[in-house]
């Protein structure tokens, strides 16, 4: 188990953050937990200020959400994005074949096993429902989208009454490394 404060310290050290920025990161992580975007596996005691304890997958989620918060997503948006982390894979994984999943735990396990190239892609869509999100966890053997495919994707979004206004790509393998390494010992 990893305490929230320890996760914040690992991420701050990995990012070479200043002490003030490290303290800000800790407060951001606490806000993410308080808003219910992620739930700790355990608490050391009863009460709101009780230290939160996270298992490997939970600490990794916390790291990914903190990265998205640094990119400008609000805590409420992070909660919506986090709900999509556990959607099932679109098909069984085969080497060399395009594969996408929203199975965050699968990505964390692969990264812990040393696999590189996992990406978190958050598409920001605008439409009648306001700002919504399309979350994909992309395996290393998933080819990047060919240049000609983007107009087709845009046309599909228009048919649904939405348009993609932004895509944020996070290198999960690099971002989660300090967290998965903390659980190796």
pLDDT band for 160, please (50, 70, 90 cuts). Answer: confident
Q: How many other C-beta atoms lie within 10 A of the C-beta of residue 1? A: 16
pLDDT at 8 over 60: yes
pLDDT at 44: 56
Distance CA 119, CA 96 (A): 16
- What is the band of 66 on the pLDDT scale with cuts at 50, 70, 90? very high
> Each residue of 11-39: pLDDT tens digit?
999 999 999 999 999 999 999 998 888 88
* Three-state SS at 132: strand
pTM of the predicted model as reported, rounded to 2 decimal places: 0.83
Q: Residue 169: beta bridge partners? A: 121
Token pair 């348009």: residue: 163
Separation of alpha carbons 125 and 10, rounded Å: 32
């Amino acid at each position: 188990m990893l305490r929230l404060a320890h996760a914040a310290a690992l991420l701050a050290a990995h990012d070479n953050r200043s002490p003030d920025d490290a303290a800000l990161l800790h407060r951001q992580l606490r806000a993410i937990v308080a808003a219910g975007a992620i739930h700790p596996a355990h608490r050391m005691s009863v009460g709101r200020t009780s230290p939160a304890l996270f298992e490997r997958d939970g600490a990794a989620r916390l790291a990914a959400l903190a990265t998205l918060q640094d990119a400008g997503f609000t805590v409420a948006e992070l909660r919506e994005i986090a709900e999509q982390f556990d959607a099932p894979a679109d098909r069984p994984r085969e080497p060399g074949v395009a594969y996408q999943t929203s199975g965050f735990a699968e990505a964390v396990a692969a990264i812990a096993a040393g696999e590189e190239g996992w990406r978190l892609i958050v598409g920001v869509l605008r439409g009648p429902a306001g700002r919504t999100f399309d979350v994909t966890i992309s395996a290393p053997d998933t080819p990047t989208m060919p240049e000609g495919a983007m107009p087709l994707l845009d046309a599909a979004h228009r048919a649904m009454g939405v348009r993609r206004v932004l895509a944020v790509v996070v290198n999960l393998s690099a971002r989660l490394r300090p967290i998965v390494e903390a659980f190796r010992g």
